[in-house]
């Protein structure tokens, strides 16, 4: 392993001092021309990449995400983590060190009172909506109204996690996990997500059940053992996605139904994002839900709620093997983009990287999104 590879590996150490030293050395190598940057004829963008402060399937730190963005020649790179701004400062420092435009932020699920009866973009959860705050230049200080709000936002997310684990421990019997020991330690800032919870249960089942792991999950999930084995043979990432769907999502034994106690209100989070110096950023999935099917009404509603930009994940709008489904989703994307452009609503995009197989950056040569690259790039200016 050469020096660069060793530095990249240590760039995602849970020790912040190790990350800082690695970034400093990499920046020095960049300035000396030892490490080359891809020079793209047309600039690309990714403003929605999760880091290891929530869940990144490569377990990358903010510094590693920013370095990859620099090396691949992106014009703009942005990190985002669920229910925390723990990665913000490191994102900004890495951007300054490497000379690339970056932004940091968070993502959370909120309750939209006006749409309580409609599914928006959280499957099977009427009234629940994925909302982001992006473009922060510094994290809010503890003791301020907005600082205390963000601490509360993180606390209620972790309280939900504890409730999920209580239910799953009861359901799974001897395959149980300890939140503090097995789950909190999976992120450097103690901010685990549903995927970390599932990772802990999967590891625990392998340790306790060994060769009978497939049989255990077959019984727990009420699925034929050959089906379980087939999923397991597809790799841990594929199997854990199945576990997440069966155990934590709607209808699962660990599922926590939405209510005012578990989810903050859209308006409250928008207000606090503004007070903290960020940009309230909505999200749009694919236009197939009741809450998203009217793009003009959707964009207008969000503007009225103080949303100043909308983030999308383009692959969810064209990357399908079935031509009919791909055509339908692309048409819905076109309608949404037209409505956003007509109403002067900035739209940015990204790939998340919180699920195995998601690319580091979207393929903007794809005809479904190449036409909108210019608008995505112009939209990004709202964060800078």
How large is the average pLDDT for residues 147-152? 92
Instruction: Give me the pLDDT at residue 40, please.
Output: 81
| DSSP letter for each residue of 190-214 | S---HHHHHHHHHHHHHHHHGGGHH
User: Per mean pLDDT, which range of 149-158, 240-249, 368-377 is the poorest?
Assistant: 149-158
Instruction: Give me the pLDDT at residue 156, please.
Output: 87
Q: What pTM was computed for the model?
A: 0.95
Question: Which overall architecture, per CATH, does domain 38-140+264-383 show?
Answer: Alpha-Beta Barrel (3.20)
* Dihedral sign from CA coordinates of 23, 24, 26, 27: positive
pLDDT of 257 higher than 90: no
How large is the average pLDDT for residues 189-217? 95
User: Rg of the chain's alpha carbons, rounded to an integer?
Assistant: 21
The predicted-structure confidence for 20-35, as pLDDT tens digits, reads as follows 999 999 999 999 999 9
Picking from 263, 262, 199, 156, the residue whose alpha carbon sits closest to that of residue 55 is 199
Contact 69, 37 (CB under 8 A): no
pLDDT of 167 higher than 90: yes
Confidence of residue 261 (pLDDT cuts 50, 70, 90): low
Instruction: Give me the pLDDT at residue 275, please.
Output: 95
pLDDT of 68 higher than 80: yes
Lookup result for tokens 């985002």: 80
How large is the average pLDDT for residues 244-255? 94
Confidence of residue 259 (pLDDT cuts 50, 70, 90): confident
Confidence of residue 260 (pLDDT cuts 50, 70, 90): low
Three-class SS of 274-309: HHCCCEEEEEECCCCCCCCCCHHHHHHHHHHCCCCE
Query: Can you list the positions of beta strands (E) in 23-162?
Result: 45-50, 76-82, 101-111, 128-136
How large is the average pLDDT for residues 105-124? 94
Most confident option among 38-52, 86-100, 149-163:
86-100
Give me the percent of the chain exceeding a pLDDT of 70.
99
Read off the DSSP letter of residue 315: G
What are the residue boundaries of the structural domains of the chain, listed by start? Answer: 1-36, 38-140+264-383, 154-247
CA dist 359 → 65, 314, 342 (Å): 12, 11, 30
Instruction: Give me the pLDDT at residue 294, please.
Output: 97
The predicted-structure confidence for 342-351, as pLDDT tens digits, reads as follows 999 999 999 9
Q: What is the mean pLDDT of the chain?
A: 94
The predicted-structure confidence for 295-344, as pLDDT tens digits, reads as follows 999 999 999 999 999 999 999 999 999 999 999 999 999 999 999 999 99
């Amino acid at each position: 392993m050469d020096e660069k590879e060793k530095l990249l590996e240590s760039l995602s150490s849970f020790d912040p001092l190790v990350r800082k030293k690695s970034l400093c050395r990499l920046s020095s190598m960049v300035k000396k021309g030892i490490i080359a940057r891809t020079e793209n004829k047309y600039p690309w963008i990714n403003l929605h990449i999760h880091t290891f402060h929530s869940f990144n399937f490569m377990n990358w730190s903010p510094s590693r995400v920013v370095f990859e963005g620099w090396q691949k020649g992106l014009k703009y790179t942005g990190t985002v983590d669920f229910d925390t701004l723990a990665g913000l400062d490191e994102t900004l420092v890495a951007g300054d060190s490497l000379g690339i435009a970056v932004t940091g932020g968070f993502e959370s699920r909120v309750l939209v009172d006006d749409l309580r009866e409609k599914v928006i973009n959280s499957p099977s959860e009427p009234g629940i909506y994925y909302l982001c705050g992006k473009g922060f230049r510094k994290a809010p200080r503890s003791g301020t109204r907005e600082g205390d709000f963000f601490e509360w936002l993180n606390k209620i997310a972790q309280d939900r996690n504890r409730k999920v684990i209580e239910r799953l421990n009861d359901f799974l019997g001897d395959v149980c996990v300890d939140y503090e020991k097995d789950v909190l330690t999976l992120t450097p800032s103690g901010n685990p997500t549903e995927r970390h919870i599932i990772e802990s249960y999967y590891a625990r089942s392998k340790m306790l059940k060994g060769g009978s792991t497939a049989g255990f999950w077959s019984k727990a999930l009420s699925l034929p053992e050959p089906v379980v084995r087939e999923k397991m043979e597809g790799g841990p990432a594929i199997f854990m996605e199945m576990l997440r769907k069966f155990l934590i999502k709607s209808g699962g034994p660990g599922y926590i139904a939405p209510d005012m106690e578990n989810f903050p209100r859209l308006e409250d989070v928008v207000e606090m994002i503004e007070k903290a110096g960020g940009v309230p950023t909505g999200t749009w999935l694919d236009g197939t839900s009741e809450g998203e099917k009217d793009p003009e009404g959707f964009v207008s509603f969000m503007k009225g709620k103080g949303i100043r930009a909308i983030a999308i994940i383009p692959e969810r709008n064209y990357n399908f093997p079935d031509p009919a489904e791909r055509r339908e989703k692309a048409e819905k994307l076109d309608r949404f983009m037209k409505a956003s452009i007509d109403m002067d609503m900035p739209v940015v995009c990204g790939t998340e990287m919180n699920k195995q197989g998601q690319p580091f950056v979207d393929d903007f040569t794809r005809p479904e999104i190449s036409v909108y690259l210019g608008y995505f790039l112009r939209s990004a200016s709202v964060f800078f």
